[in-house]
Amino acid sequence: MTPERVAELVEVAFVQGVMQLSKGYIDEIKLFIAAVQSGYGLGMSPRKLLDQVAACQNQSANRPLMIEEIELRDLWVQIVYLVLDHVKYNNTEVDIDEVDPVVFEMYAPLIPLLSQCKNNGEVFEAETILQKCISATPQLISISDAMTKAIVSQSIRVIWLTITVLEEEERCIDEKKPVKPQPPIPGAFD
């Protein structure tokens, strides 16, 4: 996997993911998260990945993205990086100092909260989770316009789905581990 290939995957998965997310489907956003995760795994900083995506010749939307779409993609890439840094994904060292301080301040405190919610077996119900996040991050209280609230809500969903992708990856890895055969002797290997 090269940085250029990762950038192409991020570009395509973002466009498809946004279209599918508007219909309630999350598979493409999970692919977007996995693509960003690949960039992180290569040790690419968020800025380097975003620069590579911006330089990507592919336009899967069949048009240049609007500024708002680019800003949303950049936000979500940074959010995925924050989650991966929080869990110390594969012990990869990535410089997340490049994450926008406003993004860091607003979303980093939500990651442990959402991780705990998932560990407690909660399901993602946007309004309930948003209320929990508002109590943890004072900046969210002042959000009043519908567009910003929608972006924040979907960005919180990206955090949740990134945690989900990591859980699914861990489950796949665990399922591939060889199982030590147990003899049919009661008490063996206890």
Per-residue pLDDT tens digits for 103-131: 999 999 999 999 999 999 998 988 888 88
62: left (phi over 0), alpha (psi -120 to 50) or beta: left
**The pLDDT of residue 85:** 96
Which pLDDT band holds residue 184 (cuts at 50, 70, 90)?
Answer: low
Phi-psi region of 88 (alpha: psi -120 to 50; beta: other; left: phi over 0): left
The number of domains in the chain is 1
What local confidence, expressed as pLDDT, does residue 31 receive?
Answer: 96
Q: What is the pLDDT of residue 47?
A: 96
181 lies in a domain? no
Query: 99 with 78: CB under 8 angstroms?
Result: yes
Tokens of 45: 């900083």
Q: How confident is the model at residue 189 (pLDDT cuts 50, 70, 90)?
A: low
Tell whether 128 is covered by a domain. yes
| 169, part of any domain | yes
190 pLDDT exceeds 80? no
Q: Is there a domain that residue 156 lies in? A: yes
In a domain, 186, yes or no: no
Question: What's the pLDDT score for residue 136?
Answer: 78
Q: Tell me, yes or no, whether 138 lies in a domain.
A: yes
| pLDDT(87) > 90 | yes
Phi-psi region of 91 (alpha: psi -120 to 50; beta: other; left: phi over 0): left
CB contact burial 54-88 (16+ within 10 A = b; e otherwise): eebeeeebeeebeeeeeebbbbbbbbbbbbbbbee
Give SS3 for 104.
helix
Average pLDDT, the chain: 89
Q: What is the pTM of this model?
A: 0.88
Count Cα atoms within 13 angstroms, Cβ side, for 181.
Answer: 2
- Could you report the per-residue pLDDT of 22-47, keeping only the tens digit for each? 888 999 999 999 999 999 999 999 99
In a domain, 8, yes or no: yes
Rg (CA), the chain: 18
Domain residue limits at 73: 3-176
The residue ranking higher by pLDDT, 153 or 76, is: 76
